Amino acid sequence: MELYSDSTTGLTGRQFVCGYGGRIDLLCYDKSRGQYVVIELKLVRAGQNTFGQISGYMGWVQDRIAGNEPVMGLVVSRGVDTKFEAALKTTNRIFPLHVEDLEEDLGFSKGYLDPKIPPRPDGIKLLIPQSPRSKGDLWLRKGDTHSRQGRYAEAWNNKGDALYDQGKYDEAIKAYNKAIELKPNYVAAINSKGFALMEFGKYDEAIKEYDTAIEINPKSVDAWNGKGLVFSTMEKHEEAIRCYDKAVKLNPKNTTSWICKGTALRDQGKYDEAIKAFEKAIDIEIDPQDADAWYNKGLALKALKRDTQANAAFAKAKELGYEGKP
């Protein structure tokens, strides 16, 4: 089995971008079996949300890349919960693998695959890359600072961010609730709670949180973007685009809004409009997301079979450092 490589863009399957904005941790191809393999890496126990996430990725790969070849799913985590086990009974294409079992099978000591542990002296590299949710310690330090200053709502919010970064969405939601209890109009905490609920697959609840944030502050670009992202995840692209339109009207220089709008338009097959949205993002200078905008523009151009322009856009994305990073 080898890491998938896009023959057009040259980009690899590490943190591979899906059409609706998600990122596959590892997309591989198994030549011996003639099948694609979607691998989801979790540093915590896999739950119902993980099952839904990898199922969505597999469906996208089947539709956009694999064609008639089968797509399998592999979840590498520190165990699974009962909801994940129950969901597994509905399919024979998703397999769980405990990190410690993987370590033992490979002849490593327990804990070797934990990204906090450095490589062994023999030079073998970690098989599981460091989690993209790597800001946890920073958020906890900020939370401690806020607490010492008597800013308890902010401290709970930062604790929520730390837990979210570790993939502990249920605990993050509880922390955000504490922050909102202390400061009912705390839009940042309400937005963050909405995003955590979306990760949990609780889309209707997430939308309610974003609606609350918008009611408090109708000019919150993050709230409009977040609500749009929930609709995009639900494949309600028209509703999503209306949210992104609100966001770009409030702040025409918000790159995220233009990229999200372009992605939603592309998923509807409106490629010319998608390209215009990606070009808007590209025109916003000195923004780290420029590379993503070029990549998404390339995907839209490729869908229009404008290969020369698509390759130029992909090359620009790589020039700007696009490596499928989170």
Q: What is the CATH number for 205? A: 1.25.40.10
Domain that holds residue 26: 2-105
Does one domain contain both 97 and 186? no
Angle between helices 152-165 and 187-199 (to 10 degrees): 20
Distance of CA 20 to the CA centre of its chain: 10
Q: Is residue 118 part of a domain?
A: no
Does one domain contain both 312 and 173? yes
Provide the pLDDT for residue 221.
Answer: 92
Q: Is residue 159 part of a domain?
A: no
Domain boundary among 78, 105, 132: 105
Provide the pLDDT for residue 248.
Answer: 93
Kindly list the averaged pLDDT for each block of 10 residues, start to end, along the chain of length 326.
78 73 82 89 76 87 88 85 84 80 43 37 31 40 44 81 79 91 92 88 92 95 92 88 95 83 85 85 59 70 73 81 55
Provide the pLDDT for residue 137.
Answer: 46
Does one domain contain both 170 and 99? no
Q: Is residue 204 part of a domain?
A: yes
Q: What is the CATH number for 94? A: 3.40.1350.10
Q: Is residue 9 part of a domain?
A: yes
Does one domain contain both 198 and 314? yes
Provide the pLDDT for residue 28.
Answer: 92
Q: Is residue 135 part of a domain?
A: no
pTM, entire model: 0.54
Does one domain contain both 84 and 188? no
Provide the pLDDT for residue 227.
Answer: 95
Q: Is residue 136 part of a domain?
A: no
Provide the pLDDT for residue 240.
Answer: 93
Does one domain contain both 177 and 71? no
Q: Is residue 127 part of a domain?
A: no
Q: Is residue 154 part of a domain?
A: no
Counting beta carbons within 10 angstroms of the beta carbon of residue 170, is it exposed (0 to 12), middle (13 to 18) or buried (19 or more)? exposed
Residue 211 Cα distances to 201, 204, 222, 293, angstroms: 17, 11, 12, 27
The total number of structural domains in the chain stands at 2
Provide the pLDDT for residue 307.
Answer: 81
Does one domain contain both 83 and 188? no
First to last CA, the chain: 24
Does one domain contain both 168 and 96? no
Does one domain contain both 181 and 266? yes
